[in-house]
Amino acid sequence: MSTISILAEISRLLINIYGQHEAQTLLRQENHLLLLDGYGGLLELRREFATLHDECRQVGGKLKTLEEDERDAAHRLDLISFQSDEIASAALIVGEEEDLDRERSLLSHGEKLLQNSQEAYAELYGADDAVLGRLSQVKRRLAR
* pLDDT tier, 70 (very low <50, low <70, confident <90, very high otherwise): very high
Domain boundaries, the chain: 4-89, 96-143
Would you say 106 and 100 are in contact if contact means Cβ atoms under 8 Å apart?
Answer: no
Would you say 123 and 131 are in contact if contact means Cβ atoms under 8 Å apart?
Answer: yes
pLDDT, tens only, 71-117: 999 999 999 999 999 988 888 888 888 988 988 888 888 888 888 88
pTM for the model stands at 0.43
Please count the helices (runs of H) and the strands (runs of E) in the chain. Answer: 6, 0
pLDDT, tens only, 14-43: 655 566 666 666 677 877 888 888 889 999
Nearest to 37 by CA among 25, 22, 49: 49
Question: Looking at the predicted structure, is the pLDDT value of residue 2 above 80?
Answer: no
